Structure 1
Amino acid sequence: MTDTASKSGKNALIWLIVSAVVIALDQWSKAWVLASLPEYTPVPVIDGFWNWYRSYNTGAAFSFLSDAGGWQKYFFMVLAVAISGLLARWLARTPRGDWKTALPYALVIGGAIGNVIDRLMHGHVVDFIQWYVGKYHWPSFNIADSAIVAGAIGIAAYGLFAGKPEGDRRPGTDKA
């Protein structure tokens, strides 16, 4: 990442529109869940695989620290805002057309802020998507969680498989 994107005005901050869409879909879906689904009662979507299952998470992924006594709510909010701020700064330094970098950042920002809104409004995160096979259930999750995971996979995949920048792919530039 270079500062040329922010200096030229052609940075990737426009990708924050994706973050806003993730936040809107996440909050809309959670409002529907809170108005329509019973608590802790599976509602089959695809029998043998997928339920709507309204539950709450005061912790992080897989209910990590969910029974820590309440301080974790503030910790996860501060962490999410800090990570979102860092990613937004990186977006400002990313060229607008670099979607392989910008899209994953925007997804993580949208998901993180969606869950922060839940913690502020409800004191916990509303989860409602439950996948399972037989008696084995994946922990319930939501759209914000899905965006965070997709973004994190994108960041990792692009980081691992991006290779050299285009300018370094000229013959004779390889240093063996």
Structure 2
Amino acid sequence: MNGSETRSAHAGFWLVAVLAGAVVVVDQLTKLWAVSALAGRAPVAVIGELVQLHLTYNAGAAFSFAERFTWVLTVITAAAVVAISIVAVRARSRAWMVSLGLVLGGAATHLLDRMFREPGPARGHVVDFIDYFGFFVGNVADISLVVGVGLAVLLNLRGVRLSGAAEPARMAHPRGE
């Protein structure tokens, strides 16, 4: 890498890191609020019964999957944080930086919950409090993860590479072969 490529890599990583950090701060602050304001309360209607605030603690992954394997989820989440960070260093596309920042922030804040919340390190439960239709209870990190992954899917479908360049159009063979 030459000097300008190194500066570009650092600038890109900083964008990812700042966005991820913002997600962590907002998620953790909203969880602190939820624990203090919603503990022991009945669900609070935000949009009727469609969206409510309801405090829960999730030992598992989405939809409480793998509740008995919190430590495995902790290891997987830590690996994801490392992998996303490594990929983020290579990103030059701002759209990819945003996607990676959102996913990194969501994963990092879930890792913090798993490491530092009760019942203990690598077994901690994630604080969830946004109840969607009585079907799924999530948090700000979950919103960040869904938006970040959705953006990554869209970027892949549009052929946008981490470098920011579009993939070359595929040439159809003139005879259809």
| TM-score band w.r.t. shorter chain | 0.7 to 0.9
Structure 1 counterpart of 2:81: 84
Once residues 139 and 6 of structure 1 are traced to their aligned partners in structure 2, the CA distance between those partners, rounded to angstroms, is 46
Report the Cα offset of residue 162 of structure 1. Answer: 2.2
Q: What TM-score do you get using the length of structure 2 for normalisation?
A: 0.81
Structure 2 counterpart of 1:10: 8
Structure 1 counterpart of 2:157: 160
Task: Select 1:120's aligned residue among 112, 115, 127.
Answer: 115
Structure 2 CA distance for partners of 1:129 and 1:167, relative to 1, 3 Å? closer
Once residues 144 and 17 of structure 1 are traced to their aligned partners in structure 2, the CA distance between those partners, rounded to angstroms, is 15
Task: Select 2:137's aligned residue among 134, 140, 148.
Answer: 140
* Number of equivalences: 161
Report the Cα offset of residue 48 of structure 1. Answer: 3.0
Structure 2 counterpart of 1:100: 95
Structure 2 counterpart of 1:61: 62
Q: Secondary structure at the match of 2:46?
A: strand
Once residues 5 and 93 of structure 1 are traced to their aligned partners in structure 2, the CA distance between those partners, rounded to angstroms, is 15
Report the Cα offset of residue 41 of structure 1. Answer: 2.5
Report the Cα offset of residue 30 of structure 1. Answer: 0.3
Once residues 91 and 105 of structure 1 are traced to their aligned partners in structure 2, the CA distance between those partners, rounded to angstroms, is 6
Once residues 153 and 104 of structure 2 are traced to their aligned partners in structure 1, the CA distance between those partners, rounded to angstroms, is 15
Report the Cα offset of residue 55 of structure 1. Answer: 0.5
Q: Percent identity?
A: 26
Whether the 8 Å CA contact 1:6–1:94 is kept in 2: the answer is: no
Once residues 129 and 141 of structure 1 are traced to their aligned partners in structure 2, the CA distance between those partners, rounded to angstroms, is 5
The answer to whether residue 51 in structure 2 is matched with residue 50 in structure 1 is yes
Once residues 168 and 60 of structure 1 are traced to their aligned partners in structure 2, the CA distance between those partners, rounded to angstroms, is 38
Whether the 8 Å CA contact 2:84–2:100 is kept in 1: the answer is: yes
Unpaired runs of 5+ residues, structure 2, are 118-123
Q: Secondary structure at the match of 1:31?
A: helix
Q: Structure 2 counterpart of 1:28, which letter?
A: L
Over the residues paired in the alignment, what is the CA RMSD in angstroms? 2.4
Unpaired runs of 5+ residues, structure 1, are none
Whether the 8 Å CA contact 2:160–2:167 is kept in 1: the answer is: no
Structure 2 CA distance for partners of 1:57 and 1:7, relative to 1, 3 Å? same
Whether the 8 Å CA contact 1:39–1:55 is kept in 2: the answer is: no
